[in-house]
């Protein structure tokens, strides 16, 4: 049985809830009947709402309704944790609906949406529900603010059938004078930012109940997903003739990159503050946010990380040593770094990653004298727009890599799969030469009307431009020399062949730039096997439709297997960004394929009914991470002696092929509106 959909799932204002009188805020009490009648006339459905004992919302309401909300700000985290607990704590869906309705008019809209989304993803009785796309709920976090006045105009003047899509310009945040602007299509991509928001929604780091936070290998996944983002960003930089991103490792140095978001917050009715070029972070003293912290605090935490990594252990709250070994080390570090409530010692190792976001996002107003809120780095829905995001995360990643470098390199038996040989791999794009990836621009239309409070209602589409690639197929030849059928895990990665100077890459650097394209299990008959796999099947990505999913259209029939797939969270790298942009003359890359022994990879668990098609960066909801190996295997450690190049790292179960990513500067239009 599909659970009943609560109010915020309803797209149009055609449903009216009959709330008990005591639900109305003081402002609406005297006019309650008028309000009900006004909307009630147009209602197609009236839903009675159960009366409940009024929840204590004092803490959630301490965040103003017009304030910005950031998960990185500790005070906001505590407030959100409280509201999540309230939503998690009620007994039934009816009660949840009542509490949500009661809270909706009282608490900050961002906070409300976040806490309720976390609760819906984690309550056993709502797990099957899909959430409305965040870009529809809060379009202001994803697009140029200019678009909204145009949308309002279109909506109030033009009948729904004749409305034209509003075109979001390609180059609205900067000009080519700023070379970082070449990366706009990555940093400002809606799909990438939605993925990031969803990832942090699925893996919250603060909540009163530990189970919500304490998910299988979540600290390691924090490391791996963000490591892959940096690797992908660097491939995009190579595509645009830029050098690898520089770490933000000297916290006292001004940040050369500026960023002017050109977005307005519809909730806070304020523009997102910019950061000017060459702004340095400063000691924070912001009473409103209850933050008083010095840059020196960050430096102290950082030093403790390096000390722990060098010593090979961390010290927990009772003074016990926990070894940073090859199985648990990276997971512990990830939980300390982000940091989450399952950090072994928040007192000692602090809150380095989160507070880095906070320091950077308040660089323009560290003591709140201008009464400004945080910049885009303060919100996981917007942080990836800013060039400094990648510098900060490159720095965070460097600390993780310091630990990874301390581990013993993989030995030949740990890499090889005896009796299994990969003898060929070919990439066939739908258009273009074999062994090339073909990229171009595409324009797509998405409906932004849900998040906009205008009359008359109806769809209004925004047309935006994003990178796209021609769908392709891998053909892999695998020889199983054994006499029986066996299982193998196919791991496919892509990395640059040359560095920013045009020199062939050393393996120890190249391994950090290998981006995962796919990973899947195959059954191997004795003898020759030919495996074909389509790019759309990638376990790194989710389809375009899911990134921008719409509840009302294209929704599979209730109770079907397709619906179960469709319903899972929108976490997953957007498929349209699977392949980096490349260059018109071709960006020369290396495609790596490996077949590892499934007996060493397998995790025994039942995956039926779960969405597990984008597990690489997102895991599987309510299940263990479906691959026992270290995330990033076999590239997560330094290579053994003698493998200075990828070619001499290979064992017979691996193969490398030179490929090229060819970009053509043309724009296609996606036929289907989302």
Residue whose CB is less far from ligand CUO, 390 or 417: 390
Catalytic residue among 338, 372, 430, 481: 338
Rounded to whole angstroms, how far apart are CA atoms 461 and 189? 17
Verify binding: residue 77, ligand CUO, rule CB under 6 A: no
Using the rule CB under 6 A, which residue among 76, 122, 196, 286 binds ligand CUO?
Answer: 196
Verify binding: residue 391, ligand CUO, rule CB under 6 A: no
Helical H segments across 8-125, by residue range? 32-40, 74-89, 93-104, 109-122
Listed in sequence order, the residues at least 6 apart from 478 whose beta carbon sits closer than 8 Å to its beta carbon are 420, 421, 422, 423, 488, 522, 524, 528, 529, 530, 531, 595
Rounded to whole angstroms, how far apart are CA atoms 506 and 192? 29
CB 465 to ligand CUO: min, Å: 25
Verify binding: residue 130, ligand CUO, rule CB under 6 A: no
Rounded to whole angstroms, how far apart are CA atoms 373 and 269? 11
Listed in sequence order, the residues at least 6 apart from 447 whose beta carbon sits closer than 8 Å to its beta carbon are 136, 459, 460, 461, 550, 673, 674
Number of H helices, E strands in the chain: 21, 20
CB 197 to ligand CUO: min, Å: 9
Alpha carbon distance, N-terminus to C-terminus of the chain: 27
Whether 5 sits among the annotated catalytic residues: the reply is no
CB 357 to ligand CUO: min, Å: 6
Q: Which of residues 215-234 bind ligand CUO (CB under 6 A)?
A: 226
Determine the residue with CB nearest ligand CUO.
Answer: 383
Site string for ligand CUO, 295-334 (x = CB under 6 A): ----------------------------------------
Residue whose CB is less far from ligand CUO, 123 or 247: 247
Verify binding: residue 385, ligand CUO, rule CB under 6 A: no
Q: Dump the DSSP string for 536-593.
A: GG-SSEE-HHHHT--SSSSPPPTTSHHHHHHHS-S-SEEGGGSS---BTT-EEEEEEE
Q: Which of 198, 136, 218 is nearest to 569 (CA)?
A: 198
CB 338 to ligand CUO: min, Å: 7
Number of residues that this document lists for the chain: 674
- Strands in 436-447's sheet, in edge-to-edge order, are 166-167, 461-469, 436-447, 654-669, 587-597, 486-496, 515-524
Q: Which of residues 422-441 bind ligand CUO (CB under 6 A)?
A: none
CB 549 to ligand CUO: min, Å: 21
Verify binding: residue 187, ligand CUO, rule CB under 6 A: no
Verify binding: residue 380, ligand CUO, rule CB under 6 A: yes
Verify binding: residue 515, ligand CUO, rule CB under 6 A: no
Residue whose CB is less far from ligand CUO, 380 or 444: 380
Rounded to whole angstroms, how far apart are CA atoms 327 and 110? 37
Using the rule CB under 6 A, which residue among 341, 342, 360, 383 binds ligand CUO?
Answer: 383
CB 314 to ligand CUO: min, Å: 20
Q: Residues touching ligand CUO: how many (CB under 6 A)?
A: 8
Verify binding: residue 213, ligand CUO, rule CB under 6 A: no
Q: Which of 165, 27, 252, 53 is nearest to 445 (CA)?
A: 165
Verify binding: residue 357, ligand CUO, rule CB under 6 A: yes
Verify binding: residue 578, ligand CUO, rule CB under 6 A: no
Q: Give the catalytic positions in this structure.
A: 338
Binding site for ligand CUO (CB under 6 A): 196, 200, 226, 353, 357, 380, 383, 393
């Amino acid at each position: 049985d599909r659970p009943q959909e609560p109010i915020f799932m309803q797209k149009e204002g055609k449903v009216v809830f009959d709330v008990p009188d005591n639900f109305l805020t003081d402002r609406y009490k005297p006019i309650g009947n008028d309000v009900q009648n006004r909307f009630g006339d147009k209602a197609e459905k009236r839903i009675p709402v159960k009366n409940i004992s009024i929840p204590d919302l004092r803490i959630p309401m301490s965040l103003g309704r017009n304030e910005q909300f950031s998960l990185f700000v500790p005070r906001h985290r505590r407030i959100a944790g409280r509201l999540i607990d309230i939503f998690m704590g009620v007994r039934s869906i009816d009660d949840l609906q009542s509490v949500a309705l009661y809270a909706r008019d009282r608490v900050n809209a961002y906070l409300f949406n976040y806490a309720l989304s976390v609760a819906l993803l984690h309550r056993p009785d709502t797990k099957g529900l899909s959430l409305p796309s965040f870009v529809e709920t809060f379009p202001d976090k994803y697009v140029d603010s200019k678009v909204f006045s145009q949308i309002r105009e279109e909506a109030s003047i033009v009948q729904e059938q004749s409305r034209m899509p509003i075109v979001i310009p390609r180059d609205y945040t900067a000009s080519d004078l700023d070379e970082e602007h070449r990366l706009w299509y990555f940093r400002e991509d809606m799909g990438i930012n939605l993925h990031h928001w969803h990832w942090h929604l699925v893996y919250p780091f603060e909540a009163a109940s530990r189970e919500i936070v304490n998910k299988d290998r979540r600290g390691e996944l924090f490391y791996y997903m963000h490591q892959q983002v940096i690797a992908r960003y660097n491939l995009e930089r190579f595509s645009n003739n830029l050098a690898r991103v520089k770490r933000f490792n000297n916290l006292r140095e001004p940040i050369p990159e500026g960023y002017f978001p050109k977005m307005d917050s519809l909730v806070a009715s304020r523009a997102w503050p910019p950061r000017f070029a060459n702004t340095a972070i400063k000691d924070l003293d912001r009473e409103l946010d209850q933050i008083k912290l010095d840059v020196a605090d960050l430096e102290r935490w950082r030093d403790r990380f390096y000390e722990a990594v060098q010593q090979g252990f961390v010290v927990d709250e009772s003074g016990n040593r926990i070894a940073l070994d090859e199985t648990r080390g990276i997971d512990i570090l990830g939980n300390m770094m982000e940091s989450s409530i399952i950090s072994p010692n928040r007192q000692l190792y602090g809150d380095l990653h989160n507070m880095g976001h906070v320091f950077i996002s308040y660089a323009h107003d560290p003591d709140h004298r201008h009464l400004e809120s945080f910049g885009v780095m303060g919100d996981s829905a917007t942080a990836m727009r800013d060039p400094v995001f990648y510098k900060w995360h490159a720095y965070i990643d460097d600390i993780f890599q310091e630990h990874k470098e301390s581990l013993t390199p993989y030995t030949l038996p740990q890499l090889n799969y005896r009796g299994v040989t990969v003898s060929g791999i070919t990439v066939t794009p739908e258009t273009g030469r074999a062994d090339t990836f073909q990229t171009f621009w595409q324009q797509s239309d998405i409906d932004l009307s849900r998040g906009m409070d205008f009359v008359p209602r109806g769809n209004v589409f925004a047309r935006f431009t994003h990178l796209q690639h021609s769908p392709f197929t891998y053909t892999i030849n695998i020889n199983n020399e054994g006499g029986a059928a066996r299982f193998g895990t196919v791991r496919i990665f892509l990395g640059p062949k040359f560095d920013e100077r045009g020199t062939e890459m050393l393996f120890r650097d190249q391994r950090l730039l290998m981006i995962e394209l796919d990973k899947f299990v195959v059954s191997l008959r004795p003898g020759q096997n030919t495996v074909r796999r389509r790019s759309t099947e990638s376990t790194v990505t989710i389809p375009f439709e899911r990134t921008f999913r719409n509840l009302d259209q294209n929704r599979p029939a209730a109770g079907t297997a397709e619906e179960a797939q469709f319903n899972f969270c929108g976490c997953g790298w957007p498929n349209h960004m699977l392949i980096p942009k490349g260059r018109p003359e071709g960006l020369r890359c290396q495609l790596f394929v490996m077949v590892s022994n499934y007996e060493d990879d397998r995790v025994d668990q039942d995956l039926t009914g779960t969405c597990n098609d984008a597990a690489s960066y997102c895991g599987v909801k309510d299940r263990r991470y479906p691959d026992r190996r270290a995330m990033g295997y076999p590239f997560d450690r330094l290579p053994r002696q003698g493998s200075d190049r990828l070619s001499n790292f290979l064992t017979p179960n691996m193969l490398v092929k030179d490929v090229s990513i060819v970009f053509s500067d043309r724009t296609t239009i996606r036929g289907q509106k989302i």
